[in-house]
A and B are shown apart, each in its own frame.
Chain A
Amino acid sequence: MQRFAGELSRMINWVVERVIATLMLVLVLDVWIGVIDRYLFHWQLPWPEVVARYLMIWMALLAISAGIARREHIGLTALTSRIPTAFRRPIAVGVECIALVMFLAIAWYGLDFAEKGARKFAHIFGMSLYWPYMALPVAMGIAALQSLLTAVRDLGDYSAFETVEFIE
Chain B
Amino acid sequence: MIVAIVFVVLIAIGMPIGFVLGAAGIAGLIQMGGTGFLHLTPAKVFHGLNIFPFLAMPFFILAGEIMNHTGITARLVGLARVLVGHLRGGLAQTNMVVSVMFAGLTGSATSDAAAFGKTLVPQMVRHGYQRDYACAVTAAGSIIGPTIPPSGLMVIYGSLLNVSIGALFAAGILPGLVICLICMVVIRLGANANNLPAAERRAALIDMWREFKGSILALIMPVIILGGILGGIVTPTEAASIAVAYALFIGVFVYRSISFQDMYGMLVRTARITGVIFVIIGFATILGWWLSFNQIPQAIATQMGAMSDNPYVIIAMIMGFLLIVGMVMDITATLIIVAPVLVPLTNSIGMDPVHAGIMIILALNISLMTPPVGACLFVLSSVTGEKLERIAMKLWPFLLAETLVMVLFSFNETLALFLPRFFGFVEWAP
Q: List 12 A-B contacts (CB under 8 A).
A: A61-B275, A63-B276, A73-B19, A75-B15, A76-B14, A98-B15, A102-B26, A106-B41, A113-B42, A132-B46, A133-B46, A136-B45
- Bound complex: CA A2 to CA B319 (Å): 47
Binary interface encoding of chain A residues 48-62 relative to chain B, with 1 for a CB under 8 A from any of its CBs, else 0:
010011001101111
Binary interface encoding of chain B residues 277-302 relative to chain A, with 1 for a CB under 8 A from any of its CBs, else 0:
11100100000000000000000000
**B14 interface neighbour in A35, A63, A95, A113, Cβ under 8 Å:** A95
User: Is B424's CB within 8 Å of the partner chain A?
Assistant: no
Binary interface encoding of chain B residues 32-69 relative to chain A, with 1 for a CB under 8 A from any of its CBs, else 0:
00000011011101100111101100110010000000
Q: Per DSSP, are chain A's interface residues mostly helix, strand or loop, or mixed?
A: helix
CB of A89 to closest CB in B, whole Å:
12
How many residue pairs at the A-B interface have CB separations less than 8 Å?
180
User: Is B267's CB within 8 Å of the partner chain A?
Assistant: yes
Asked if residues A56 and B58 are in contact (CB atoms below 8 Å), the reply is yes
User: Is A45's CB within 8 Å of the partner chain B?
Assistant: no
Q: With A57-B50, A106-B45, A135-B46 given, is the CB distance from A20 to B268 under 8 Å?
A: yes
User: Is A86's CB within 8 Å of the partner chain B?
Assistant: no
User: Is B264's CB within 8 Å of the partner chain A?
Assistant: yes
- Bound complex: CA A63 to CA B257 (Å): 27
How many residues of B are counted as interface, with CB atoms below 8 angstroms from the partner's CB atoms?
56
Asked if residues B14 and A23 are in contact (CB atoms below 8 Å), the reply is no
Q: Show the binding face of B for A, using Cβ within 8 Å.
A: 10-20, 22-23, 26, 38-39, 41-43, 45-46, 49-52, 54-55, 58-59, 62, 234, 237-238, 241-242, 244-245, 264-265, 267-268, 270-272, 274-279, 282, 328, 372-373, 375, 378
Asked if residues B16 and A74 are in contact (CB atoms below 8 Å), the reply is yes
- Bound complex: CA A59 to CA B378 (Å): 27
Binary interface encoding of chain A residues 122-135 relative to chain B, with 1 for a CB under 8 A from any of its CBs, else 0:
00000000001101
Contacts of B245 in A (CB 8 A): 32
- Bound complex: CA A119 to CA B51 (Å): 22
Asked if residues A105 and B41 are in contact (CB atoms below 8 Å), the reply is yes
Asked if residues A168 and B265 are in contact (CB atoms below 8 Å), the reply is yes
- Bound complex: CA A64 to CA B16 (Å): 12
Q: Given contacts A72-B276, A95-B15, could you give 14 more A-B pairs where the C-beta distance is less than 8 Å?
A: A17-B272, A28-B241, A35-B242, A38-B238, A56-B58, A61-B275, A64-B18, A73-B18, A76-B12, A79-B12, A79-B13, A80-B14, A113-B43, A113-B46
- Bound complex: CA A61 to CA B47 (Å): 13
Q: With A102-B23, A113-B43 given, is the CB distance from A59 to B15 under 8 Å?
A: no
Asked if residues B46 and A91 are in contact (CB atoms below 8 Å), the reply is no
User: Is A92's CB within 8 Å of the partner chain B?
Assistant: yes
Q: Show the binding face of A for B, using Cβ within 8 Å.
A: 17, 20-21, 23-25, 27-28, 31-32, 34-35, 38-39, 49, 52-53, 56-57, 59-64, 66-67, 70, 72-80, 91-92, 94-95, 98-99, 102, 105-106, 109-110, 112-113, 132-133, 135-137, 140, 168
- Bound complex: CA A73 to CA B92 (Å): 32
CB of B371 to closest CB in A, whole Å:
8
Asked if residues A31 and B39 are in contact (CB atoms below 8 Å), the reply is no
- Bound complex: CA A79 to CA B234 (Å): 46
- Bound complex: CA A128 to CA B42 (Å): 17
Asked if residues A102 and B22 are in contact (CB atoms below 8 Å), the reply is yes
- B42, B59, B378: most-surrounded residue (chain A CB, <10 A): B42
Residue of A nearest to B20 (CB): A75
Q: With A17-B268, A136-B42 given, is the CB distance from A31 to B12 under 8 Å?
A: no
- Bound complex: CA A140 to CA B373 (Å): 28
Asked if residues B244 and A73 are in contact (CB atoms below 8 Å), the reply is no
**B39 interface neighbour in A28, A75, A109, A140, Cβ under 8 Å:** A109
Asked if residues B275 and A136 are in contact (CB atoms below 8 Å), the reply is no
Contacts of A63 in B (CB 8 A): 271-272, 274-276, 278
- Bound complex: CA A146 to CA B378 (Å): 26
